[in-house]
């Protein structure tokens, strides 16, 4: 399993596309704790909030970054924080869709996060029950068709983020 910096290097080395399926209602990311507190207190989130530099570091090189977030409303405080940041990711070039399981049933998606890089490398994400990242497990190539199918299903059923946010914000 790849952790920390090792996993982070995948975002520097992929060539064309990175897709994420996101499934948790809470992520425990130490680097986000202070920012979440500021968000919940209604404070200014700063300029990086409006144009995500991490996303921009990939899209400025012509790479495509996309995700579908599978969630269930009502939103947790964490999800309110995360979704409020998505417009800055979109401005930086990320494509984001939402599947709200309170609004539509979608069978056939996994109950775990994964990243699919360049349509050829799949990493299943592992987290503690509290949402702390443990690592990304590279799955064998024989699993690629399965995960490409998950991506296709997620993209075909997702509502564009802007449409979802307009209805729920």
- Let me know: does 13 contact 148? Beta carbons within 8 Å: no
Q: Are strands 133-138 and 159-160 parallel, antiparallel or unpaired?
A: unpaired
Whether pTM exceeds 0.85:
yes
Q: What is the pLDDT of residue 102?
A: 96
Q: What is the pLDDT of residue 12?
A: 95
Any idea where the domains of the chain sit in the sequence?
Answer: 4-168
CA Rg value for the chain: 16
Residues whose CB falls within 8 Å of the CB of residue 88, separated by 6 or more in sequence, listed in order: 48, 49, 50, 51, 52
In b/e form, how buried is each residue of 62-88, taking b as 16+ CB within 10 angstroms?
Answer: ebebbbbbbbeeebeebbebbbebbbb
- Whole-angstrom Cα distance, residue 62 to residue 106? 32
Per-residue pLDDT tens for 96-130?
999 999 999 999 999 999 999 999 999 999 999 99
- Let me know: does 86 contact 165? Beta carbons within 8 Å: yes
Q: What is the pLDDT of residue 159?
A: 97
CB atoms within 10 A of CB 33: 10
Report residue 75 as tokens: 């939103």
According to CATH, the topology of domain 4-168 is Endonuclease; Chain A (3.30.870)
Q: What is the pLDDT of residue 111?
A: 95
> Residue 133 — φ and ψ, nearest 5°?
-65, 125
Per-residue pLDDT tens for 10-67?
999 999 999 999 999 999 998 889 999 999 999 988 878 899 999 999 999 999 999 9
- Whole-angstrom Cα distance, residue 48 to residue 68? 22
């Amino acid at each position: 399993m790849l952790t920390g910096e090792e996993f982070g290097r995948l975002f520097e080395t992929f060539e064309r596309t990175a897709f994420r399926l996101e499934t948790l209602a809470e992520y425990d990311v130490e680097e986000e704790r202070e920012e979440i507190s500021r968000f919940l207190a209604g404070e200014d989130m700063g300029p990086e909030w409006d144009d995500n530099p991490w996303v921009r570091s990939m899209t400025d090189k012509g790479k495509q970054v996309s995700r579908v977030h599978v969630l269930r409303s009502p939103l947790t405080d964490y999800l309110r924080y995360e979704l409020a940041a998505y417009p800055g990711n979109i401005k930086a070039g990320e494509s984001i869709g939402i599947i709200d399981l309170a609004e539509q049933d979608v069978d056939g998606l996994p109950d775990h996060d994964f990243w699919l890089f360049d349509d050829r490398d799949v990493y299943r994400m592992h987290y503690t029950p509290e949402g702390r990242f443990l690592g990304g497990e590279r799955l064998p190539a024989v699993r690629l068709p399965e995960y490409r199918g998950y991506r296709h299903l997620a993209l075909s059923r997702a509502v564009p983020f802007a449409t979802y946010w307009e209805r729920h914000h």
